[in-house]
Amino acid sequence: GGGISFVYEVHPLIVVKVPKSGEFEREQFYKELEIYRIFAQKRPCPSIVQCFLFSDNGIFLEYIRDMSLSSRMQKNHIRD
């Protein structure tokens, strides 16, 4: 899950990311939440894990099972 949150599988294709209880962790989680708010206003990018729903208590994300960020980027890379 990382240093600022816990990640729980809620469906084979969806996880929820929940902030840990510490003040620093919550601050960092809210910064990440702001990024998802910005992404929600744009067209989805295939190189970024898709967010389905977010609130101050959790972020529901696409579950990318057994794929590293590097592999995901190579898979979705478009060459000119």
- In this predicted structure, the answer to whether residue 79 has a pLDDT above a threshold of 80 is no
CATH number at residue 39: 3.30.200
In the chain, % of residues over pLDDT 90? 59
Q: How far is CA 39 from CA 10, 16, 49, in A?
A: 22, 17, 11
**pLDDT tens digits, one per residue of 43-63:** 888 878 889 999 999 999 999
Q: How far is CA 80 from CA 45, 46, 47, 69, 76, in A?
A: 17, 16, 16, 21, 13
Helix (H) or strand (E) holding 14: strand 14-19
pLDDT in the model for residue 26:
94
Mean pLDDT for all residues in the chain: 85
Q: Is 54 helix (H, G, I), strand (E, B) or coil?
A: strand
Domain total of the chain: 1
Please give the residue range of the domain that contains residue 43: 5-76
Strand order in the sheet with 58-62: 5-11, 14-19, 58-62, 51-55
